[in-house]
């Protein structure tokens, strides 16, 4: 497996792979890889002859008050994992390579989709995400790109960008991978103390219970949001950032009575760690 830090060299390798008849799979990550990332790389390897895993902690998607400097970094272990799974390349550029003249050109999905959920409390976050992902798509060229439902809103924002800008990318959204006790895998779980790690189970447990209530006939949106809010508050250590409900997959507004495919998104802060989780409940008859 090759490790590139340089755009030109990666592109030359991609040209050779395409000339040899391989399709290209791209797995964008910020590193500190875990099995959630592993599942994306595995899916990419099953469907493409050449898989590149990008590994870049993108500064423009962090607000000045957020955890950019503290974000976990483990490039060597990440490369080992990508190689073990079967990727052909890791692309791990420096900030200077990705933003050679600063961050003056932005790619931004505006409106409802980036104003809700994480967009409400992190108003500049998705602009950073779409900008860096657009750069990666331009570097890699036509490909299949793999994203996780763990970041369900992000996946829909990327879908909008691809569709609106006619990008030659086939988006593949893969299932959310959890630890055996239900906690959604995340690089940010590394921030948690053992007490917080235990308390963080409140996210998946609450979503699970909300799903059961809905499947049992509780279709009042406000009642479900109240239940989630109370359940997180009862968890003591965590403070609720948001609990919101939308139509899946496009995250359009949901009426007061839940119906169809329902997306519940949740963000909870534990000390310096902000954890997100979500579930999709299918109420279609
Ligand atoms: P990140 O490195 O956290 O920016 O994530 C890179 C990609 O991996 C994104 O598309 C995430 O949605 C995906 N991902 C992260 N955690 C998980 C998980 N637990 N299950 C599935 N995909 C994940």
Angle, alpha carbons 174-28-61 (nearest 5°): 110
Lining residues, ligand 1, CB within 6 Å: 29-30, 36-37, 39-40, 147-148, 150-151, 174, 176-177, 184-187
Q: Three-class SS of residue 241?
A: strand
Q: Which tens digits make up the pLDDT trace of 18-35?
A: 999 999 999 999 999 999
How many A from CA of 177 to the centre of ligand 1? 9
Q: From atom 18 of ligand 1, which residue's Cα is the shortest distance away?
A: 36
Cα separation, 12 vs 133, in Å, equals: 20
Residue closest by Cα to atom 12 of ligand 1: 148
Are 265 and 278 in contact by the 8 Å Cβ rule? The answer is yes
**Ligand 1 atom having least distance to the Cα of 188:** 3
Distance CA 54, CA 80 (A): 14
Mutate to test the pocket of ligand 1, among 148, 181, 279 (most ligand atoms within 8 A of CB): 148
pTM of the model: 0.98
Angle between helices 75-85 and 35-47 (to 10 degrees): 40
pLDDT level of residue 115 (50, 70, 90 thresholds): very high
> Considering only 32-36, 233-237, 249-253, which range has the smallest mean pLDDT?
233-237
149: which 2 tokens? 């439902």
The pLDDT confidence band at residue 188, using thresholds 50, 70 and 90, is very high
What mean pLDDT value characterizes the chain? 97
Closest C-alpha to ligand 1, atom 13: 148
In the chain, at which residue ranges do the beta strands (DSSP E only) sit? 2-4, 24-29, 50-55, 89-91, 143-148, 169-174, 239-247, 261-270, 273-282
DSSP state at residue 54: E
Closest by alpha carbon to 146, among 258, 63, 38? 38
pLDDT of residue 45: 98
| φ and ψ of 130, to 5 deg | -65, -35
| Residues that are catalytic | 37
Measured in Å, residue 148 CA sits from the centre of ligand 1 at: 5
Question: Alpha carbon of 113 to those of 106, 156, 157, 212, 274: distances in Å?
Answer: 17, 8, 7, 27, 20
């Amino acid at each position: 497996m090759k490790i590139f830090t340089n755009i030109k060299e990666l592109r030359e390798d991609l040209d050779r792979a395409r000339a040899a008849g391989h399709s290209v799979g791209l797995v964008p990550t910020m590193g500190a890889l875990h099995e959630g990332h592993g599942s994306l790389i595995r899916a990419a390897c099953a469907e493409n002859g050449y898989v590149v895993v990008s590994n870049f902690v993108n500064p423009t998607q962090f607000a000045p008050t957020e955890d950019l400097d503290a974000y976990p970094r483990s490039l060597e272990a990440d490369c080992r994992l990508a190689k073990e799974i079967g990727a052909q390349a890791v692309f791990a550029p420096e900030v200077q390579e990705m933003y050679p003249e600063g961050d003056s050109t932005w790619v931004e999905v505006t409106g409802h989709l980036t104003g809700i959920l994480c967009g409400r409390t992190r108003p500049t976050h998705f602009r950073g995400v779409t900008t860096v992902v657009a750069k990666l798509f331009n570097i890699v060229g036509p490909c299949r790109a793999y994203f996780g439902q763990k970041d369900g809103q992000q996946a829909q924002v990327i879908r909008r960008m691809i569709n609106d800008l006619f990008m030659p990318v086939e988006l593949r959204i893969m299932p959310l991978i959890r630890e055996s006790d239900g906690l959604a895998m995340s690089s940010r779980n590394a921030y948690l103390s053992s007490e917080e790690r235990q308390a963080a189970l409140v996210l998946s447990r609450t979503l699970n219970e909300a799903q059961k209530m809905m499947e049992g006939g509780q279709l009042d949106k406000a009642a479900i949001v109240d239940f989630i809010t109370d359940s997180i508050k009862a968890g003591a250590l965590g403070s609720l950032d948001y609990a919101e409900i939308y139509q899946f997959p496009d995250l359009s507004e949901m009426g007061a009575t839940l119906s169809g495919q329902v997306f519940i998104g949740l963000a909870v802060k534990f000390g310096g760690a902000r954890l997100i989780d979500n579930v999709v409940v299918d109420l279609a008859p």
